[in-house]
Amino acid sequence: MAVGVLRQAQPLDDLLARFVARGINSVSFPLLDILRMGAYQLRMLDRVPPHAAVATGVALARELVGERASGFTNAVLRRVAELPIADTAHDDVDDVARLASRWSHPVWLVARWFAHFGLPATAALLRWNNSHPALVLQPTRGSVLDLEQFFLENGIANTPAPFGAGVIVTESRPDRLPGFDTGDFFVQDPAQALVVRFADFASDAIIFDACAAPGGKTLALTHRHAQVIAADLSVRRLGRLRENLARAGRHTEGVLAADATHPPVRPVLAYLLDAPCLGTGSFARHPDGRLRVNNDALLRLVAAQTILLDAAADRIAPGGVLCYATCSLEPEENEMQVAAFLQRHPDFRREPPADFPAELLTQAGDMMTLPQRDRVDGAFAARLVRAG
């Protein structure tokens, strides 16, 4: 329910505002969350009787805010419940504002996507972001086909993920599946698995994973390579990385706390920079992300990525590969960032792997997945090779 409210926050607020005389901004955050949950149950779920949704909202308001708030909650939610479903539509606004309100995304971001993708693709992207993404698992031992067979033998229905990048299961809790405790799989969207495939590091290369936590790509790399050095600046995130490696890693990984602006390694032949980014390609899995993004954050991240890329360039041995990746859809973080890097570092060139799906390559040779087109998270990667 919490995830559903996050995905539908804007249309819920627009609906509630019709019944709050002093405006939605006059409602305290705890009470607003209670009203949103009540309205979500009333308008977007069919398994909760209206009287139960109202009663629950009133009880929560009384407990968490106070007696006076319970009467206000009762009045607002009863009016929401009485409103005909068709009466929630708004057709008197332009395409961008209508899409932003309907699918609960920031107007400035929808305007960017509208200009970049056009109306049909933007609408499809917003629908995807408000959908419930599938649980996709990646094998730590053997192949994807081996993991599919393992689940079938244990009575777990499954289907191949797009591009053969993982196994889709209907279970929502991976820790309830056979093989979880023994580390036979880890959770990872196909787009992120494709990034590792796109990097195409040499099998005998020592890999430096510069921004590794929580460890999904590290696990994928250890499945393919003998030695990975996984680093992250955040001690808290390193805790999650170590937990994931302890359960599903090969126990040959090196883990260290390190600042990727000053990578503590000698030049290597394989360097993965999964850079901090706006995360606009992963809103389906992280619906709270859309509430935090803004243009100022985008500009700060672009500047930070530039510093990280320049620091990485110094740690690539001749003939080595730097794979720069984001989970963003924004050109400034992706193709524009790489173009600027290549201007600053003319000894690097793009070199995509020969056997990668052509439909996922841009004209320049970078990897780009689009949720509305590929049915996976949005992700970008550039494979940059230093001259030998």
- Asked if 244 and 382 sit in the same domain, the reply is yes
pLDDT tens-place string over residues 151-176: 999 999 999 999 999 999 999 899 99
> Phi/psi at 219 (nearest 5 deg)?
-60, -40
DSSP string, 348-371: EEE---TTS-GGGB-TTS-EEE-H
> Could you list the active site residues?
327
- Asked if 347 and 309 sit in the same domain, the reply is yes
- Asked if 265 and 170 sit in the same domain, the reply is no
Residue 41: CATH number of its domain: 1.10.940.10
Which range marks the domain in which residue 109 is found? 95-129
For position 92, what pLDDT does the model report?
45
- Asked if 174 and 205 sit in the same domain, the reply is no
pTM of the model: 0.88
- Asked if 194 and 183 sit in the same domain, the reply is no
**Cα distances (angstroms) measured from residue 155 to each of 37, 170, 176, 203:** 36, 12, 13, 35
Domain C-terminal end among 60, 88, 116: 88
In whole angstroms, give the CA distance from residue 348 to residue 113.
30
The residue type found at 242 is R
For position 89, what pLDDT does the model report?
46
For position 83, what pLDDT does the model report?
87
For position 44, what pLDDT does the model report?
87
Nearest-5° Cα angle at 128, 166 to 280: 85
Task: Report yes or no: 291 and 33 within 8 Å, Cβ to Cβ.
Answer: no
For position 47, what pLDDT does the model report?
85
- Asked if 143 and 225 sit in the same domain, the reply is no
pLDDT tens-place string over residues 122-134: 999 999 999 999 9
Residue 276: CATH number of its domain: 3.40.50.150
- Asked if 63 and 100 sit in the same domain, the reply is no
pLDDT along the chain (388 residues), means of 10: 90 92 93 95 89 95 94 95 67 76 93 95 96 95 95 96 97 94 96 97 94 94 87 94 93 92 96 98 95 95 98 97 98 98 98 96 98 98 96
The four Cα atoms 33, 34, 40, 42 give a dihedral, to 10 degrees, of: -160
At a CB cut-off of 8 Å and minimum separation 6, what does 207 contact?
Answer: 201, 221, 225, 227, 228, 229, 268, 270, 271, 272
Task: Report yes or no: 263 and 311 within 8 Å, Cβ to Cβ.
Answer: yes
Q: Closest Cα partner for 345 from 295, 375, 378, 311? A: 311
Domain C-terminal end among 171, 187, 203: 187
Beta strand pairing call for 367-369 and 268-274? unpaired
For position 85, what pLDDT does the model report?
66
Give the DSSP H or E segment for 319. Answer: strand 316-326
In whole angstroms, give the CA distance from residue 344 to residue 143.
40
User: Structurally, how many domains does the chain consist of?
Assistant: 4
- Asked if 64 and 24 sit in the same domain, the reply is yes
For position 130, what pLDDT does the model report?
94
Mapped onto helix, strand or coil, the DSSP state of residue 230 is strand
- Asked if 122 and 179 sit in the same domain, the reply is no
**Helix H segments across the chain?**
2-7, 9-17, 29-44, 50-64, 67-82, 95-103, 107-117, 119-129, 144-153, 190-199, 216-224, 235-248, 295-313, 335-344, 371-374
In whole angstroms, give the CA distance from residue 292 to residue 301.
13
For position 300, what pLDDT does the model report?
98
Domain C-terminal end among 187, 205, 227: 187
- Asked if 65 and 205 sit in the same domain, the reply is no
- Asked if 81 and 43 sit in the same domain, the reply is yes
- Asked if 44 and 104 sit in the same domain, the reply is no
In whole angstroms, give the CA distance from residue 29 to residue 25.
9
